[in-house]
Every structure is written in structure tokens, then in C-alpha cells.
């Protein structure tokens, strides 16, 4: 993949994020809508929210690299490939 195409994908991700986190949110949104159509408002007054259907365990944020760290690593890799 040319570096220019990779940077285009990075820009696209900035506008339209993709990946497992976004997929999980979309699935949870659908699940909450379906659950709310079958919800008995007398037994459960509060509507379901997407977060009610998302996994509880999350990636350890202390170990998760920042966007800047990822960008620097990618630039280093592609810089080495261009030589």
C-alpha cells in the first residue's frame, strides 16, 4: 500500500471511525431499540440504552497507545520502508 493511500485511510478514519468499538456500539444500539419495543413500561420505566448491551470489560487504558504515539510509529515504519 502506498504511503499516500495509507494517509487517506487515516483521514477517512478521522471522519468515519471504524473498528470493533464502533461495531459494538452499533450492535448495542440495535439491541436497545429492539429491547425497548418489547419493554413493559410499568415494570421498567427507564428505557434501555446502548451501554446496557455493551461488554463491561474494556481495554486497559494505561496500556493503550495515544493517537500521537500510533501516528509516530506508523511514520517510522513507512519511513523505513521508503528507504
C-beta pairs of 55-61 under 8 Å, 24+ apart in sequence:
55/24
Query: Three-state SS for 45?
Result: coil
Tell me the C-alpha distance between 37 and 47, whole Å. Answer: 10
The percentage of the chain sitting over the pLDDT mark of 70, rounded to a whole number, equals: 86
Contact (Cβ atoms closer than 8 angstroms) between residue 25 and residue 50: yes
Supply the pLDDT for residue 64: 67
Going by pLDDT thresholds of 50, 70 and 90, the confidence category of residue 83 is low
Tell me the C-alpha distance between 48 and 33, whole Å. Answer: 8
Give tens-digit pLDDT for 13-37.
Answer: 888 888 888 888 899 999 999 999 9
> pTM of this prediction?
0.53
Q: Is the pLDDT of residue 56 over 90?
A: no
Q: Is the pLDDT of residue 61 over 60?
A: no
Residue whose C-alpha cell is 418489547: 38
Q: Is the pLDDT of residue 59 over 50?
A: no
Amino acid at each position: 500500500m502506498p504511503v499516500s493511500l495509507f494517509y487517506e485511510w487515516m483521514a477517512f478514519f478521522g471522519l468515519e471511525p471504524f473498528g470493533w468499538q464502533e461495531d459494538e456500539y452499533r450492535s448495542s444500539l440495535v439491541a436497545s431499540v429492539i429491547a425497548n419495543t418489547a419493554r413493559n413500561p410499568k415494570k421498567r420505566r427507564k428505557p434501555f440504552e446502548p451501554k446496557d448491551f455493551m461488554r463491561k470489560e474494556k481495554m486497559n487504558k494505561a496500556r493503550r497507545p495515544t493517537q500521537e504515539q500510533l501516528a509516530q510509529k506508523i511514520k517510522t515504519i513507512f519511513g523505513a520502508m521508503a528507504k
